[in-house]
């Protein structure tokens, strides 16, 4: 679709959120609310996107840094939706075509709906198309007033409506498609002679109708798409609807979700075929999971690259980790940023890792802390092993060669290097490098005092 621009209104504060964060920056499905309409208009083909910001302008603009198709218009004072669009006009200079206008707090609108609206707008040569919905409880929304031929004459806000108008159930979603030539002429003519003393964007319809220009309604097929978010109860409701969409798309693409209602997967997460995800799993950030994986209940996965055939057992928490094929993790493992586990690694219960690479087939099966370490292939890390990587000032590295066997309860006081094929005896505190093929043992010899207990009596 060529000749399509978009304006997204997001200057309001969102008082009913009762929050220090501006409404449109509240997270929804892993993204700030306002990025949903931005992504949707982009997918619908808008080549130029103007975001009208006001409250916490800088925070909103910071988020979109690097998205070069997004331009900003600042509305210092929120004098109404018409005034907000007036602020956006300079950013539309030089553009001629259709302008989609959306609200930053109506995030569930789908690309398919916008595309269908634009198609109908174009085929009927309309000047304004308003996305409408039929709500049994239309309270709070502007009502669509039509003429005898079914065209829109005007939109009346609830606060300005007569009793008869309030009974109209067709509402204004706040989403429009408008010809830019008309918009640039109509916006400067808006007046604020209404109950709220605001410049209503909706009054451009009256202007167009008076000029005999075509204003049509495009009824949305699924009213849930035009739900506006004003408070946190609606935020939660919208979050649930979004999760429903994300989960359904994953299931249709071949991922098994045992209970989609309690599976929390953010937008943008990629999951392969025949991977099974149990309830109460949270997957977020730039995460990719391969085929044939098993993710057990209550795993929390953020920003991880996970290969094929990986098992992540109950209660494991992992962030910014790279996991190769056929690795088993958990239950209750904690993989922190910078962890890379090569093929067939096994990480057992109560193991914490950070900034480590662990080679193919290596194991740390129980109760261990591994940080700032390079661990070779086929290494066994015994129960209770600790890399003492921090001396109170700096972090130091532990390097463990291939085929090393580390007994239980070993401490590596870093920096320290263990040569390949060595054995570290249980209970050893390693403070010096160990050459290859060696036994390192450092523990006080045992003394048995026979009869000691009897004498004590
Ligand atoms: C608006 C519509 C109403 C429609 C409803 C749908 C008008 C006059 N009314 O009402 O017909 O049913 O949306 O949700 O347009 N905003 C700004 N600057 C402003 C005012 C608003 O950027 O000066 C932004 C808000 O941040 C918000 C959006 O515009 O994202 C809608 O504003 P809001 O005040 O919520 O409009 P409603 O009263 O809901
Ligand atoms: Ca609103």
Task: Quickly tell me which residue has 């009346």 as its tokens.
Answer: 156
pLDDT of 456: 79
Q: Which ligand is nearest to the CA of 176?
A: 1
Q: Are residues 296 and 210 in the same domain?
A: no
202 lines ligand 1 (CB under 6 A): yes
- Could you give the C-alpha distances from 139 to 75, 135, 171, 203, in angstroms and in order? 27, 9, 9, 19
10 lines ligand 1 (CB under 6 A): yes
Task: Name the pairing type of β-strands 305-306 and 322-323.
Answer: parallel
Q: Is residue 421 included in any domain, yes or no?
A: yes
Q: Are residues 279 and 345 in the same domain?
A: yes
* The pair of three-digit structure tokens given for residue 265, joined into one six-digit string: 């997967």
Residue 109 has phi, psi (to 5 degrees) of -60, 135
Summarize pLDDT for 203-235 with one digit per residue, the tens. 999 999 999 999 999 999 999 999 999 999 999
Cα 332 to Cα 278: distance, rounded to the nearest angstrom: 15
Q: Are residues 213 and 355 in the same domain?
A: no
Q: Are residues 377 and 419 in the same domain?
A: yes
Cα 28 to Cα 248: distance, rounded to the nearest angstrom: 17
Q: Are residues 367 and 407 in the same domain?
A: yes
Distance from the CA of 12 to the center of ligand 1, in angstroms? 8
Q: Is residue 242 included in any domain, yes or no?
A: no
Cβ partners under 8 Å of residue 397, min gap 6: 372, 373, 374, 389, 414, 415
| Atom number of ligand 1 nearest to Cα 77 | 23
Q: Which residue of the set 26, 282, 334, 366 is catalytic?
A: 366
| Atom number of ligand 1 nearest to Cα 199 | 8
Distance from the CA of 20 to the center of ligand 1, in angstroms? 20
Query: Residue 288 pLDDT more than 70?
Result: yes
Q: Is residue 456 included in any domain, yes or no?
A: no
Q: Which ligand is nearest to the CA of 107?
A: 1
Q: Is residue 233 included in any domain, yes or no?
A: no
Distance from the CA of 115 to the center of ligand 2, in angstroms? 23
Q: Is residue 238 included in any domain, yes or no?
A: no
Element (H, E) at 81: helix 81-88
Q: Are residues 375 and 428 in the same domain?
A: yes
Q: Are 420 and 401 within 8 A, CB to CB?
A: yes
Q: Are residues 219 and 115 in the same domain?
A: yes
Cα 292 to Cα 272: distance, rounded to the nearest angstrom: 7
Residue 424 has phi, psi (to 5 degrees) of -105, 120
Global pTM reads: 0.90
Residue 342 has phi, psi (to 5 degrees) of -75, 175
Cα 295 to Cα 304: distance, rounded to the nearest angstrom: 13
Q: Is residue 453 included in any domain, yes or no?
A: no
Task: Quickly tell me which residue has 């099966």 as its tokens.
Answer: 365
State the first-to-last Cα distance of the chain, in angstroms, to the nearest integer: 94
Task: Quickly tell me which residue has 């509240």 as its tokens.
Answer: 26
Distance from the CA of 174 to the center of ligand 1, in angstroms? 7
12 lines ligand 1 (CB under 6 A): yes
pLDDT of 310: 99
Of 226, 243, 274, which one is at a domain's C-terminal end? 226
366 is catalytic: yes
Summarize pLDDT for 385-429 with one digit per residue, the tens. 999 999 999 999 999 999 999 999 999 999 999 999 999 999 999
208 lines ligand 1 (CB under 6 A): no
Ligand 1, residues 8, 12, 101: which to mutate, most atoms within 8 A of Cβ? 12
CATH number reported for the structural domain that contains residue 119 in this entry: 3.90.550.10
- Per the structure, the count of domains in the chain is 2
Summarize pLDDT for 58-76 with one digit per residue, the tens. 999 999 999 999 999 999 9
Give the percent of the chain with pLDDT over 70: 99
* Average pLDDT of span 313-332: 98
Q: Are residues 211 and 262 in the same domain?
A: no
* Average pLDDT of span 263-277: 97
Q: Are residues 176 and 280 in the same domain?
A: no
Query: Residue 274 pLDDT more than 60?
Result: yes
Q: Which ligand is nearest to the CA of 77?
A: 1
Give the percent of the chain with pLDDT over 90: 99
Q: Which ligand is nearest to the CA of 23?
A: 1
Mean pLDDT of the chain: 97
Summarize pLDDT for 168-190 with one digit per residue, the tens. 999 999 999 999 999 999 999 99
Query: Residue 259 pLDDT more than 90?
Result: yes
263 lines ligand 1 (CB under 6 A): no
Q: Are 155 and 117 within 8 A, CB to CB?
A: no
* The pair of three-digit structure tokens given for residue 91, joined into one six-digit string: 């950013």
pLDDT of 2: 63
Query: Residue 359 pLDDT more than 50?
Result: yes
Q: Are residues 216 and 280 in the same domain?
A: no
Q: Is residue 250 included in any domain, yes or no?
A: no
25 lines ligand 1 (CB under 6 A): no
Q: Are residues 217 and 275 in the same domain?
A: no
Binning pLDDT at 50, 70 and 90, where does residue 449 land? very high
Q: Are residues 194 and 265 in the same domain?
A: no
Distance from the CA of 75 to the center of ligand 1, in angstroms? 13
How is 348-382 classified by DSSP, letter by letter? Answer: EEEEEEEEEEE-TT-EEEEEEEEEEEEE-SS-EEP
Task: Quickly tell me which residue has 């490098």 as its tokens.
Answer: 433
Tell me the residue range of the domain where 434 lies. 257-440
Summarize pLDDT for 84-109 with one digit per residue, the tens. 999 999 999 999 999 999 999 999 99
108 lines ligand 1 (CB under 6 A): no
Residue count of the chain, please give it: 457
Return the residue whose CA atom lies nearest to atom 39 of ligand 1.
Answer: 141
Q: Is residue 128 included in any domain, yes or no?
A: yes
CATH number reported for the structural domain that contains residue 326 in this entry: 2.160.10.10
């Amino acid at each position: 679709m060529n000749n399509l621009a978009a304006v997204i209104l997001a200057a309001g504060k969102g008082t009913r959120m009762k929050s220090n964060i501006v409404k449109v920056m509240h997270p929804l499905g892993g993204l700030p609310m306002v990025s949903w309409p931005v992504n949707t208009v982009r997918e619908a083909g808008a080549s130029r996107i103007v975001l009208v910001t006001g409250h916490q302008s800088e925070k909103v603009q910071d988020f979109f840094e690097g998205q070069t198709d997004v331009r900003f218009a600042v509305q210092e004072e929120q004098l109404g939706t018409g005034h907000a669009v007036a602020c956006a006009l300079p950013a539309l200079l030089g553009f001629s075509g259709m302008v989609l206008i959306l609200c930053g707090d109506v995030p569930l609108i789908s690309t398919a709906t916008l595309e269908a609206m634009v198609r109908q707008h174009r085929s009927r040569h309309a000047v304004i198309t308003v996305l409408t919905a039929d709500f049994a409880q239309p309270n709070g929304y502007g009502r669509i007033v039509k003429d005898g031929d079914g065209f829109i004459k005007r939109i009346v806000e609830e606060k300005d409506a007569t009793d008869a108008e309030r009974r109209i159930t067709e509402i204004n979603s706040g989403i429009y498609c408008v010809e830019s030539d008309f918009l640039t002429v109509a916006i400067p003519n808006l007046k604020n002679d209404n109950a709220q003393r605001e410049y209503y964007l909706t009054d451009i319809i009256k202007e167009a109708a008076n000029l005999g220009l075509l204003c049509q309604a495009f009824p949305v097929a699924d009213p849930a798409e035009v739900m506006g978010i004003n408070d946190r109860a609606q935020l939660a409701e919208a979050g649930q609807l979004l999760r429903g969409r994300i989960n359904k798309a994953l299931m249709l693409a071949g991922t098994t979700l045992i209970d989609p209602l309690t599976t929390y997967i953010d937008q943008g997460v990629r999951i392969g075929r025949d991977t099974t995800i149990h309830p109460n799993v949270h997957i977020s950030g730039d995460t990719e999971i391969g085929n044939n994986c098993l993710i057990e209940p209550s795993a929390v996965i953020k920003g991880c690259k996970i290969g094929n055939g990986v098992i992540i057992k109950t209660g494991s928490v992992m962030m910014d980790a790279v996991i190769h094929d056929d690795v088993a993790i958990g239950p209750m493992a904690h993989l922190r940023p910078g962890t890379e586990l090569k093929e067939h690694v096994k990480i057992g219960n109560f193991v914490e890792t950070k900034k480590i690479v662990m080679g193919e087939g290596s194991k740390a099966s129980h109760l261990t802390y591994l940080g700032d370490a390079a661990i070779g292939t086929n290494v066994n890390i015994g129960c209770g092993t600790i890399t003492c990587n921090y001396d109170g000032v700096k972090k130091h590295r532990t390097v463990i060669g291939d085929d090393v066997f580390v007994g239980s309860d070993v401490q590596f006081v870093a920096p320290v290097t263990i040569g390949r094929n060595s054995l570290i005896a249980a209970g050893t505190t390693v403070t010096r490098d160990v050459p290859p093929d060696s036994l390192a043992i450092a523990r006080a010899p045992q003394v048995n005092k026979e009869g000691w207990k009897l004498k004590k009596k």
